[in-house]
Structure 1
Amino acid sequence: MADTKRKILFSALRLFAVYGYEAVSVSQIAGELGITKGALYRHYKNKRDIFESIFKYVCQLDVERSQNAGIPEKEFSEMPHSFGGTSLESLKKYMISQFYYWSKDEIACNFRKMLTLEQYKTAEMNALYQKVLGSGPLEFIEDLFREMLKYRGYCEDAAKHMAVEFYSPFYLMLSICDATSNQNEKKIIADLYVAYVEQFMQKYSFLSYLEIERNKNETNY
């Protein structure tokens, strides 16, 4: 992404996070950067184009984190066969990287703040908020646990309960993190979340054990 285009995105998102998407004009964004509207329009068609570019950028980074952790990068309906073989270790790596990303990265933090403001104003933004931070991640994790349980020979009825148990602290600790600008406090919150994930993995470690046994048996045949 060209430097000027990136600067426009960063500046626009900072304004969106403070005033909300609807309240910010193209003139304000250009003024923040010290450029004319005409100069801005050479890079983006309109404010909506800026917003869609921000969302595309955030989604691209999420795909990269998913791939790095070994987590399916698409929803269950698009790649169902990738969910069952997911390991607890991959899920742990992914969720911890998600927490640090959503709590520390400037783009992610401002995007999340903007959605929090805008979710009450339009149905579109409410749906996007849910997709990115609410029901979307919860359903994704439920799909993961359901398929992991099924793949390992367990009844998948507990998947929804496990998903709520696993995702709720992520959502809560992000909210608590927002309430402080003190970096030491933010680190304590992050460490607390990581410790919770570790405890959760220990509680459901039987999933990892069964996976190891399954792999051993397949190797022996």
Structure 2
Amino acid sequence: ETFHWCFADSEEKTRKFLEKYGQPTEAQRLEVYNWFADEYDEGVKLVEMGGASNYRKELIQGALGDVLEVAVGTGRCFEALESAEVKSFVGVDINEAMLQQARKKVDDLPYPARVGLANAHKLPFADKSFDTVISSLCLCAVERPEEALAEMARVCRPGGQVLLVEPGVARRWLVRTGQRHLGLVPQPKHSWEFGWRDDVDVLGLLDACKGLSVASVETRAMGNWYLVSAKPVE
């Protein structure tokens, strides 16, 4: 069952719900996406304007060669993938409802492209299959982000690139502490409403990933959005 809208009535109802259920399981978070897949693009358009949409264009326009997107969702990255340097595109996601929306757009891309069902924890591709691996709001949405990151590194070719646009806890300790104290990040009901966590330690995941060498990390929006460029360790 999806509880996406049950928080609207009162703070007391929200408190009781969270005391009873805690944070959602992976299956419950996936159900959130099932619930709003048809209206997802329209729903996030204003939210992403000047934010995630711009961050994707800023970073992902650097994609080239054979490209894999992990957690393609409804295809929100497609508008940033019109570079003449891209030869082919494959997008995967674990949620069929979101993929149905992406399939409506994929034929408009100016190169061979397809999307399909796959789990980010175990990608169905051979080692060193892609020149560029991208993800946007993937690490915050999967159950085991460290495994997803390791898989991205595994399927990226030597000399290739892994490009990540991810929300998470703020980079600077003072901002992170202040946001936690004010209840801004994490927001207790965020995962129930949107399906992804807002308190992922992006830098910690990068530090722990032995298969990637980080080339650059930039932050946006009070340090809660990360634009990461990395390369597979050869």
Bin the TM-score by the shorter chain: under 0.3
The structure number with the bigger radius of gyration is: 1
Structure-2-length-normalised TM-score = 0.26
Structure-1-length-normalised TM-score = 0.27
- Report which of the two has the higher share of helix: 1
- Report which of the two has the higher share of strand: 2
